[in-house]
Amino acid sequence: MPTVHARTQTKLGVASFRDATDDDPEWMAAYFHRPDAHLDTLIDRARLGTLEATIDRFRAMIRNGDPTQLRTAFIIDLDGRPELIVFTYGEIAGLDPSNGRLEWSRPHKSDQGVNVATPIWGSDHLLFVSSAYGGGSRMLQLTRTGDTVSVEERWNSQRVRIHFGNGVRLGNRLYASNGDMGSAPFAAIDVGTGDMLWRDRSVTRATLIASGDRLILQTYGAIELRTFL
């Protein structure tokens, strides 16, 4: 069970496209079209199109959500070569970062395509993937032979679901807030089997990082330093 080492209260503030009003697409689009040398270094203005087209796109994003934005990408070392892992709307995939060539992919569908939790890569070649809204979790083992990457699914589970937070792996355990629309209590999951080892309902909706054998958690209203056994 967890031991609390430190705790401090924080103020909360959450904003998203759900908070936008009917008038917001105009000023959102105007921001990206205004003359600004710094923005020129960050985005390709030529791909924006007209101001009216950008306004229409923001209206669609507010109304329906934008599945192209629900993705996570990072690079791992796979048997001595870099591999670009992309977790996107409906699948998890690996690409050659030097040329963008797709090397493998596996479906990972959720009811609303919300695959936003960053997958977790281990030195034992295990890749943990999780999402809410019916997506569940799966553990994939990746192996490279020359230019070919083989993928084996070790387990999958609907009992393990990371919503919009993140997970951390320490040794043979994964730690994360588990659940989607409910309280999402903090949990420990066995890396090898996907079994739930324990849940702590005093910690909910946490994002976290590891510091040695301890975890620093940010929850609704607090930051905590804990040790988990």
Place of tokens 């959500």: 65
pLDDT: which is higher, 137 or 163 = 137
Tell me what the mean pLDDT of segment 99-126 comes to. 89
Give the mean pLDDT of 105-126: 89
pLDDT by residue (tens digit) across 171-218? 999 999 998 877 789 999 999 999 999 998 888 888 899 988 888 888
Classify 39 as helix, strand or coil.
helix
2 pLDDT higher than 60: no
Using the predicted structure, report yes or no on whether residue 123 has a pLDDT greater than 90: yes
The DSSP string of 119-143 is PEE-TTSEEEEEETTTTEEEEEEEE
Q: Which carries the bigger pLDDT value, residue 28 or residue 200? A: 200
Q: Which helix (H) or strand (E) holds 199?
A: strand 196-204
Model confidence pLDDT, tens digit, residues 43-102: 777 777 888 888 887 777 666 555 555 578 899 999 999 999 999 878 999 999 988 889
Residue 164: predicted pLDDT: 76
pLDDT of the residue at 8? 42
Half-sphere exposure of 200 (CA within 13 A, CB side): 21
DSSP state of 202: E
pLDDT digits (tens, 9 = 90+) for 73-88: 899 999 999 999 999 8
Dump pLDDT digits (tens) for 31-40: 788 887 777 7
The pLDDT value recorded for residue 75 is: 93
Distance CA(25)–CA(28), nearest Å, equals 5
Q: What are the residue boundaries of the structural domains of the chain, listed by start?
A: 19-65, 66-227
Q: Is the pLDDT of residue 26 over 50?
A: yes
Helix, strand or coil, per DSSP, at residue 63: helix
pLDDT tens column, 103-112: 999 999 887 6
Query: In the CATH hierarchy, which fold is given to the domain comprising 66-227?
Result: Methylamine Dehydrogenase; Chain H (2.130.10)
State the pLDDT at residue 171. Answer: 94
The answer, yes or no, to whether residue 7 has pLDDT greater than 90, is no
Q: Residue 13 — very low, low, confident or very high, per pLDDT cuts 50/70/90?
A: very low
